């Protein structure tokens, strides 16, 4: 099956400029970060084929993030362990098979589940990352692929569409509504005791991550102490993980939600977010808030929160105090840029 779908993949320049109205994005992965990282691809589909309708094969996280997006019609939710939920998975795949698509995209290189979904989908054009063993003559192999995982699927679509190489990529973006942001802003005002406006900035910290990417509770407490001594004007907020327990000793105002869009809206009200390398880091960047990602295991070039004032910090060989010092410098630059923008805004306001 893999060999058959591998031979039928669209080659560079093979997609038509018109006639693509129904698009399927295949990313059946339950990790939050992987769900967020397809948002640039969705934005690129919307840009190249405005008016097209998009279905997504994903997880419960994917459904929460994109089900309300204007261009998205259906999110097919596959369970995390397909082999353990065969009947449920078979039902989802049967519903998927009933659809007729103009374009189906396997958004991840090397995902067996994504390639299976692509093989089962009924689509006029199928787009995916080529396997050099199955199709060594493909023109894709001569292309220089971008490092960042969120950029690769966009690059794949652009090259198939025949667009000249472009240096810029769509940002991570969840299209939060004004209503979501207003509701979060009200909670933020209460959380900060009504004194947020008196602070130099409000910055959220998410101290959780999986496996070796997670820093210890003592590490984070040392980080907070050093950061607060360097940036006393910054109000810190503790974003709690799904387990609902503070890893910072309950010394900061906490916010907890298992609803991903609610958490993203809350981060959108912040002036900055500092997070370990994890899905919430990508969620913060997709909320539009400047995000600093702390990397201790994975390659920042593949996962960095890119664009704007976002940044990645490789913490190898650094203790908590050194990382906090670098984070304080990043935060000070944010405050400086914001102050300059406010001065320009005031000078241009005739009523000022």
pLDDT confidence of residue 67: 95
Mean pLDDT over 146-151 rounds to 95
Question: 50 is written with which tokens?
Answer: 């405005």
What is residue 125's DSSP assignment? Answer: E
- How far, in Å, are 131, 197, 235, 334 from residue 337 at the CA level? 45, 17, 18, 5
- Number of helices (H), then strands (E), belonging to the chain: the values are 13, 11
pLDDT tens-place string over residues 289-299: 999 999 999 99
Q: Residue 339 — pLDDT band, cuts 50, 70, 90?
A: low
Strand order across the beta sheet in which 101-106 lies: 72-77, 53-58, 22-26, 101-106, 123-127
Q: Residue 137 — pLDDT band, cuts 50, 70, 90?
A: confident
- CATH 3.40.50.2000 residue ranges of the chain are 2-161, 180-348
**Cα–Cα distance for residue pair 88/72, rounded to 1 Å:** 22
**Cα–Cα distance for residue pair 101/118, rounded to 1 Å:** 11
Q: Residue 1 — pLDDT band, cuts 50, 70, 90?
A: confident
Domain 2-161 belongs to what topology?
Rossmann fold (3.40.50)
Confidence check: pLDDT of 114 > 70: yes
Lowest-confidence pick of 5-19, 42-56, 266-280 = 5-19
- How far, in Å, are 108, 122, 142, 189, 307 from residue 130 at the CA level? 11, 19, 11, 50, 28
CATH architecture entry for 180-348:
3-Layer(aba) Sandwich (3.40)
Q: Residue 283 — pLDDT band, cuts 50, 70, 90?
A: very high
Confidence check: pLDDT of 307 > 60: yes
Q: Residue 156 — pLDDT band, cuts 50, 70, 90?
A: very high
Confidence check: pLDDT of 188 > 60: yes
Mean pLDDT over 75-83 rounds to 81
Q: Residue 194 — pLDDT band, cuts 50, 70, 90?
A: low
Q: Residue 79 — pLDDT band, cuts 50, 70, 90?
A: confident
Mean pLDDT over 238-267 rounds to 92
**Cα–Cα distance for residue pair 288/304, rounded to 1 Å:** 14
pLDDT confidence of residue 227: 97
pLDDT confidence of residue 8: 84
Count of Cβ atoms closer than 10 Å to residue 305 Cβ: 27
Mean pLDDT over 250-263 rounds to 92
Confidence check: pLDDT of 303 > 90: yes
The string of DSSP codes covering 155-216 is HHHHHHHTPPP-S--PPP-----HHHHHHHHHHHHHHTTT-GGGSSEEEEEE---SGGGPPP
């Amino acid at each position: 099956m893999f060999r058959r779908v591998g031979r039928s993949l669209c080659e560079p320049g093979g997609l038509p400029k018109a006639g693509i109205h129904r698009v399927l994005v295949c990313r059946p992965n339950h990790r939050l970060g992987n769900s967020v990282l397809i948002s640039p691809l969705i934005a690129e589909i919307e840009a190249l084929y405005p008016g097209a309708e998009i279905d997504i094969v994903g997880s419960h996280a994917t459904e929460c993030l994109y089900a309300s997006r204007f261009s998205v019609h259906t999110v097919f939710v596959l369970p995390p362990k397909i082999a353990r939920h065969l009947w449920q998975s078979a039902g989802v795949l049967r519903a998927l098979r009933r659809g007729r698509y103009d374009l189906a995209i396997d958004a991840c290189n090397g995902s067996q589940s994504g390639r299976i979904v692509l093989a089962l989908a009924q689509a006029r054009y199928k787009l995916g990352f080529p396997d050099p063993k199955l199709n060594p003559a493909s023109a894709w192999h001569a292309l220089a692929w971008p490092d960042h995982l969120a950029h690769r699927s966009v690059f794949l679509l652009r090259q198939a569409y025949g667009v000249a190489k472009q240096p810029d990529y769509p940002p991570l973006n969840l299209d939060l509504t004004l209503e979501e942001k207003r509701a979060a802003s009200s909670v933020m005002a209460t959380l900060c005791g009504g004194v947020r406006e008196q602070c130099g900035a409000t910055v959220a910290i998410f101290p959780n991550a999986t496996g070796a990417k997670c820093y210890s509770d003592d590490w984070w407490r040392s980080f907070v102490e050093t950061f607060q001594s360097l940036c006393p004007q910054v109000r810190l907020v503790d974003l709690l993980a799904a387990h609902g327990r503070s890893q910072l000793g309950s010394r900061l105002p906490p916010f907890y939600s298992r609803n991903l869009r609610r958490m993203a809206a809350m981060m959108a009200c912040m002036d900055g977010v500092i997070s370990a390398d994890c899905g919430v880091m990508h969620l913060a960047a997709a909320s539009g808030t400047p995000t600093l990602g702390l990397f201790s295991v994975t390659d920042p070039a593949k996962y960095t929160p890119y664009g704007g004032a976002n940044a990645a910090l490789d913490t190898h060989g650094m203790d908590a105090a050194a990382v906090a010092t670098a984070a304080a410098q990043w935060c000070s630059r944010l405050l400086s840029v914001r102050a300059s923008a406010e001065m320009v805004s005031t000078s241009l306001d005739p009523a000022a």
